[in-house]
Structure 1
Amino acid sequence: MNNLALRLPPAIGQRLGKAGWFLHRDYTIELSYKLAFLLQLVGIFLNVFMFYFLARLVDGGNQPSLAAYNGDYFAFVLIGVAFSLYFTVAISGFAKNLRDAQITGTLEAMLLTPTDLPTIIISSCLWDYLFTTLRVLIYLLLGMFVFGANLGNGNYLGALVVLILTIVAFSGLGIMAASFIMVTKRGDPVTTLVGGIGLLLGGVYYPVELLPSWLQFCAALIPVTYALRAMRHALLNNASWSVLLPDIGALVVFCVILVPLSLFTFKQAVRWAKTDGSLAHY
């Protein structure tokens, strides 16, 4: 990454170089706890195994709400659980990494460097997203080749576009959560409320269509609903761009609103902590 950074415009190259150092640091720390690393991978197999047998019960009930997803609950929930990992890591990852930096005393040192705030906060979660991508791939590959999930004929380019927009939109929520941690040190409403509501209403474990109409309205206000619906249509139905476009458009709107707002909020939170003298407190 550092070699690539040398061939890019100086400002972009410096940001990529610094992001590479963040990534190398977090990768080194993660691999130093090999047992925890391996246990996370083992947990994936156990989750897939559990949902496979649960799906046999649900599929036996011939649920009409699954008709839009080829009636296959196992593939439906496999995609939901796998890609909700991005939502979980975004909602909790930025705040957790910020909290760790506060406790270890590295936060104040990082903020005193010439590195701009967006580079610091975004780079802090690069490893989390890369490791989450590995976990998602393992989920999907286990589901396909061990448990027979039918994911082999999808609109993969559409799924990639949805994934990129999903990560960006979710990151906006995660940076907002980190902003609260910067000020309050412990506890933030974004992680608790938005995280819980997203998993409850976003269609991770069951179709949104099963919810009462007023809860479906609430589900339409969170990005995870559009992300999972678009991802399922792309991977399970090989949906065309015209089918994916409404959900893609909704995710673009979330990205345009959440990312600038979250970065502004984080900048104000840092300014507040500096003024209050609590930047290094935890």
Structure 2
Amino acid sequence: MIIIFRKALSFIKRSYLLQMSYKFEFFLRLFFMFFNILTYYFVAKLIGTAGQAYLAPYGGDYFSFVLIGIAFSGYLMVSLRGFSESVRDEQMMGTLEAMLVTPTDASAIITLSTLWNFIFASFRVLLYLAIGVLLGVSLAGANVLGALIILALTIVCFSSIGILSASFIMIFKKGDPINMLFMSTSELFGGVYFPVAVLPTWLQTVSHLLPITYSLNGMGGDRLSG
């Protein structure tokens, strides 16, 4: 257990140092994240109460709805693509083969190399919520424990798909197009940017096949109020 913990810290430190070596890209990502939040904030102002019938289960406020959607969907996207991206990055840097000949199992390498992505995703969620509070979103009625339980179960579900995608890359040395299709479909039909109820009935069938739909619906009662 101590050895695994030390290896995890080593992977996190390595990923952090690599990320900080591209400081401009790091701060640029934060800037566009803030820009993205402002975009949805003003879109919510434009919509006003027009979609209140669809947003009633989520507190009736579009900005609160989409804020939580884009914040926590970041975890799900990391679960899906984080493993494969880490493996691909190691391939591009020529370090994957060197790590595979070490005593560390391939499964541990894939898992530990993604820890920094989840840490950064957590930082982004906290930043999303902090900016949301500054823009008038209330945290008073949030069921944090319930949201965390649902989030943890969803990450496990999505990570299984992400690990399969990473395995695909390790074997065939190429990206997995199925993973990209699944991510795009989940974002569009999973209730991240708008309630599933807005969609036509036949498209809601697609939504009901996606794990992210049930995850965000589970957080529906815990979504923040404006």
- Give TM class, smaller chain: over 0.9
| Count of residue correspondences | 225
1:27 aligns with 2:16: yes
Residue 84 (structure 1) shift:
1.2
Q: Give the % identical residues.
A: 48
**TM-score of the aligned structures, taking structure 2 as reference length:** 0.93
Where does 1:102-121 land on structure 2 (aligned, <5 Å)? 102-121=91-110
Partner of residue 185, structure 1: 173
In structure 2, the CA distance between the partners of 1:234 and 1:217, relative to structure 1 (3 Å rule), is same
2:60 maps to what in 1? 71
- Matches of 1:109 and 1:103 in 2, distance apart? 13
1:96 aligns with 2:96: no
How big is the shift at 1:153? 1.9
**Quick one: distance in 2 between partners of 1:219 and 1:62?**
19
The C-alpha deviation readout for 1:175-206, integer Å capped at 9, x for no partner, is 12212222332331332211111111110101
- Identify unmatched segments of 5+ residues in structure 1: 1-11, 238-282
Q: Distance in 2 between matches of 1:136 and 1:19?
A: 22
TM-score by length of 1: 0.75
Residue 218 of structure 1 is aligned with which of 185, 206, 211? 206
RMSD: 1.6
Write out per-residue CA displacement over residues 19-59 of structure 1, whole angstroms, 9 at most, x where no aligned residue.
11111100111112111111111112111110001011222
Higher relative contact order (CA 8 A, sep 6+): 2
Whole-Å separation in 2 of the counterparts to 1:69 and 1:94: 32
User: 1:156·1:235 contact (CA, 8 Å) conserved in 2?
Assistant: no
- Determine the C-alpha separation between the residues in 1 that align with 2:202 and 2:168: 29
- Is residue 177–residue 189 contact of structure 1 (8 Å, CA) maintained in 2? no
Q: Which residue of 1 aligns with 2:185?
A: 197
5+ unaligned residues in a row in structure 2: which ranges? none
Of 110, 122, 131 in structure 1, the residue corresponding to residue 120 of structure 2 is 131
